[in-house]
Amino acid sequence: MLKITEPEYVLMKKYIEEHCGIYLERDKEYLIESRLSDLLSETGCKSFQELHLKARMQDPAGELRDRIVDAMTTNETSWFRDKNAWDYLTEVTVPDLLHRSSETGKARVWSAAASSGQEAYSLVMLLDEAAKERGLPSLSERVEILGTDISSSALSSAIAAQYDTIAMNRGLPQEKKTNYFSKAGKFWLFDQELKKRVRFEKFNLQDDFIFADFFDLILCRYVSIYFSETFKRELFSKIAGILKPGGVLLLGATESLREFSDDFEISYYKGAVINTKK
Ligand SMILES: C[S@@+](CC[C@H](N)C(=O)[O-])C[C@H]1O[C@@H](n2cnc3c(N)ncnc32)[C@H](O)[C@@H]1O
């Protein structure tokens, strides 16, 4: 594997942070070396300096940029990731969303770093179960779910909604597998009707948050860990700006907004941290 030099590391680190906000600490040279090695050979670049130059000067459509970003993002995810957070979503949020949607006709959720879709589809399953329990299966249709990610390959998987056995074995309870998936060759397909409940789009969290309406719930989980303090501050402020008052932001279990935002009331539910917009 080609080694990156110190000056090349500085250039690539800056480029990556500029285009997706991922902030690489010192000593992360191996990450660039390993994740971009295939791209180096495919593009015929003989050094990271050459790759950087190509990305800066010869990439008008941004194709190389997207491939670099795609390679540098960590798309690790699973079904119902973190029991505490999903207990909260099951016991508090889902009934609340169904209630809000029955009153106002609509509730809105954003899975803001959706990766390959497990987070958004986990929520769809919960909403479907809860609406059926109430004898109102169509109620869950009134909860609009938007799933976004910067990674094109993660988004393609989310849109395809088909998962291999390894992905299926990560956190999906057997009864949900039986009720919501069908086998197609080596893959498992998520329910084709329920799949339509999530609209997936490419979106960079660095961009301005221009949305048609405010959200009731935002899941922005296990992504701010990759960002600088400055970007976290900016991100949480933009999120606060598009959440309804009383709306909730859930972060990953290892993330916190305490030092970065005053816009939220922090509370706890069975160990999960709940950030409620003031
Ligand atoms: C570790 S995954 C988390 C997935 C899911 N939220 C979960 O908790 O399981 C982080 C995701 O954030 C996405 N991501 C990283 N930087 C981003 C950015 N600037 N804008 C949007 N998505 C980003 C990555 O592509 C990746 O899919």
In tens, the pLDDT along 63-121 reads: 999 999 999 999 999 999 999 999 999 999 999 999 988 888 899 999 999 999 999 99
Question: From CA 247, how far away is CA 277, in angstroms rounded?
Answer: 5
CB 252 less than 6 A from any atom of ligand 1: yes
Architecture of domain 83-277: 3-Layer(aba) Sandwich (3.40)
Pairing of strands 181-184, 107-111: unpaired
pLDDT band at 138 (very low <50, low <70, confident <90, very high): confident
In this structure, which topology does domain 6-72 adopt according to CATH?
Chemotaxis Receptor Methyltransferase Cher; domain 1 (1.10.155)
Q: What pLDDT, on the 0 to 100 scale, is given for residue 71?
A: 98
Q: In ligand 1, which atom is closest to the CA atom of 20?
A: 19
What pLDDT is stored for residue 101 in this prediction?
Answer: 87
Q: Of all atoms in ligand 1, which is nearest to the CA of residue 76?
A: 1
Query: Which of 150, 235, 273 best tests ligand 1's pocket when mutated (most atoms within 8 Å of CB)?
Result: 150
For the cut 90, the answer to whether the pLDDT of residue 259 exceeds it is yes
Cα(57) to centroid(ligand 1), Å: 27
Burial 127-153, CB ≥16 within 10 A → b, else e: bbbbbeeeeeeebbbbbbbbbbbbbeb
Q: Tokens 């009720």 label which residue?
A: 179
Average pLDDT over residues 27-42: 96
Cβ of 85 closer than 6 Å to ligand 1, yes or no, is: no
Q: What's the pLDDT at 129? A: 96
Q: Domain coordinates of the chain in residue numbers?
A: 6-72, 83-277
